[in-house]
A and B are shown apart, each in its own frame.
Chain A
Amino acid sequence: MTISAPRYGSTSSERLGRTRRVLAIVRRELRRRAGWGTVAAVVLAFVSVAAVVIVDAEFASLTGTLRLTTLEAPFESPIWPLLLLLVATSAGAGALAEDTGNRSIVLYLSRPIHLIDYVGAKAIACGTWILIAAAGPPLTAVLILTLLGVVPTSIAVSAALGYLAVGLLATIFLTGVALSLSSLTSRPLYAGVGIFGVVLSLFIGAAAVAAITGNLYVPYASPVTLLRSVGLGVFGGPSTPETDPATSAAVLAIAGAVLGAFAAWRASRVEVVSE
């Protein structure tokens, strides 16, 4: 038996900071989440939602009735929440589930990063896609209308801020839903179907119960109704929100944060069994 003396050498190199490491995950996740389903849903959102805003505004402009309320059209349409759900599903269902399923979560968490960095990076990547689909189409429509001189700048700026605010709220909530359901399973299929099923069931169920019982608090259980109320509240439209816009915004923000925290907790408890 032979013993050879070890050879020592210095291989130290400068490590990047925490923010740069998180950004590295975000960049990778942004590309990874950009499947054809996500891109198709975003394109569909741009085409359908922007078209609705532009047509409504053009018509109101011709009849001289253009107000800020005219631009609330996306929140009146059932297509906007449906497409957001689709983007959340496509971009978020696999966010944690895929990594658990293929065990790459171990590779991530074995690096010198915090769990919160990992989950946060996933949330930022998924949220970016949702935000693009939520706020991008109406913002683009308003920009086009402003450039065409259809919408005055003052109204355009207010509308843009409104779209951004509602879009951010939708992003916080849907990212929370997507990550929390994705953390419950190792199969993106189940998480994806869960996102759709839970949100739509709450929407229809709350509507049915509220209609029969007349209980004013039941609609607060429906995220779609809450988003609609916030949108109508921000734009001050003719339609009456079913729920109080400020309370709705608070419920969505808190629910999104709680669900995000739940996802982080779940990720911290993941046991990856190799076989």
Chain B
Amino acid sequence: MSGEFSRLGTIAGLSFRGSLAGLRVVGLSAFAAVPSLIVLALVSARPPSDTLANAALGLFPSLTLPIVVMVIVLVISIAQFRNEIDNETLVYLSDRSVRRPTIVVGKYLGALGASLVLVVPASLLPLAIATAGGGTPYPAAVPAATAVAVALAAVAYVGFFLFLGLVSRSALVLGLLFGFLWEELLPLLPGHVPQLTLIYYLRSYLSGTLTSGPLSGYPTTTPATAAVAVLLAIAVAFVLAGAAAFRYLETAPERTSA
């Protein structure tokens, strides 16, 4: 018999492969390619080098992070538990001798890995295309910061959406409300309200890491390191909450026959 880490790896691998299987990965990849396609359209217009570089980078906070990353992570994370509960495949894992927190952590790692496979290229490819298309080259810190930002976004959002998919049958609507109303509208409000959103900490990280360009200058009082700590803490909190909830939740689908 092998240990808990081995079981964790098996569940993570199962979730990873399941997340990137079938037509779903085609749809998600197409969606991840949207920023790159837009930059390709920009390149074809042959704008000045600085304009092209700034426009491509400008897509990151306006499109890539709040929409592309959000949608990809939402789909992958909610599906982890919600689809398996509705399909009743979760029972193949839950009726084994594995501990339920191990299932939650394994699924988290699998979903995180699958998300990263899609969102990191979605953030870096547009910058590469802009540079290759004649845009002013970016300092190394820029692609590094964007890659870290999407990774942090995935770390935090996967934790939250995974939890949502586990505890709520209306995870999709709740996820969309969170992703496109909470995360989009609260940052527009004055005072400390934006600090209630994850996007605030992601932008704080970017602003604290980069000193110039469209990603810097976000009005924040939170240093980059604190922002990273908050995002990691949120991820851990939701994974722990998910692990605790899974111990007490029934996992048969809603319309179970007698």
Contacts and interface: CB of A to CB of B under 8 A. Distances in A.
Report A-B touching, CB under 8 Å. Answer: yes
B169 to A, nearest CB: 10
Q: Lowest 9 CB-CB distances: which A-B pairs, in order?
A: A37-B173, A213-B45, A197-B71, A204-B63, A205-B38, A201-B34, A209-B41, A212-B55, A192-B172
Given A82-B181, A196-B180, A201-B67, A212 B47 contact: yes
A82 to B, nearest CB: 6
A86 B82 CA distance: 20
B91 interface: no
A200 B55 contact: no
B258 to A, nearest CB: 18
A89 interface: yes
Contacts of A201: 31, 34, 63, 67-68
A24 interface: no
Contacts of B37: 205
B14 to A, nearest CB: 19
B131 to A, nearest CB: 16
A266 interface: no
A67 to B, nearest CB: 28
A175 interface: no
Contacts of B225: none
22 contacts: A36-B170, A36-B173, A79-B185, A85-B180, A86-B173, A86-B177, A86-B180, A86-B181, A185-B23, A189-B171, A190-B24, A192-B172, A197-B71, A201-B63, A201-B67, A204-B62, A204-B63, A205-B34, A205-B38, A208-B38, A208-B58, A208-B63
Contacts, number: 96
Interface string B171-183: 1111011011100
B177 A187 contact: no
B155 interface: no
Interface string A90-109: 10010000000000000000
A189 B68 contact: no
Which of A36, A40, A192 counts the most chain B CB atoms within 10 A? A192
Contact of A190 (B27, B59, B67): B27
B180 A200 contact: yes
A86 B63 contact: no
Interface stretch (B3-11, B73-81, B104-112, B143-151): B73-81
Scoring B63, B78, B171 by chain A CB atoms within 10 A of each residue's CB, the highest score goes to B63
A211 interface: yes
A245 interface: no
B94 interface: no
Nearest to A197: B71
Given A86-B181, A201-B31, A208-B63, 10 more contacts: A35-B173, A37-B172, A189-B75, A189-B79, A190-B24, A193-B176, A196-B71, A196-B180, A201-B63, A208-B55
Interface of B: 23-24, 27, 31, 34-35, 37-38, 41-42, 45, 47, 51-52, 55, 58-59, 62-63, 67-68, 71, 74-75, 78-79, 82-83, 170-174, 176-177, 179-181, 184-185
Interface in A173-223: 185, 187-190, 192-194, 196-197, 200-201, 204-205, 208-209, 211-213, 215
A232 B33 CA distance: 33
B170 A211 contact: no
Nearest to B24: A190
A101 to B, nearest CB: 8
B130 to A, nearest CB: 11
Interface string A59-94: 000000000000000000001001001100110010
The residue in A36, A82, A196 that gathers the most chain B C-beta atoms within 10 A of its C-beta is A196
Interface of A: 35-37, 40-41, 79, 82, 85-86, 89-90, 93, 185, 187-190, 192-194, 196-197, 200-201, 204-205, 208-209, 211-213, 215
A92 B41 CA distance: 31
Contacts of B82: 189
A211 B67 contact: no
A189 B75 CA distance: 7
A89 B181 CA distance: 14
A204 B37 CA distance: 13
Contacts of A93: 172
Most chain B beta carbons < 10 A, residue from A90, A193, A200, A201: A193
A190 to B, nearest CB: 6
A192 B74 CA distance: 11
A192 B52 CA distance: 33
Contacts of B179: 196
Contacts of A213: 41-42, 45, 47
Nearest to B23: A185
Nearest to B51: A212
A204 B63 CA distance: 6
A193 B52 CA distance: 30
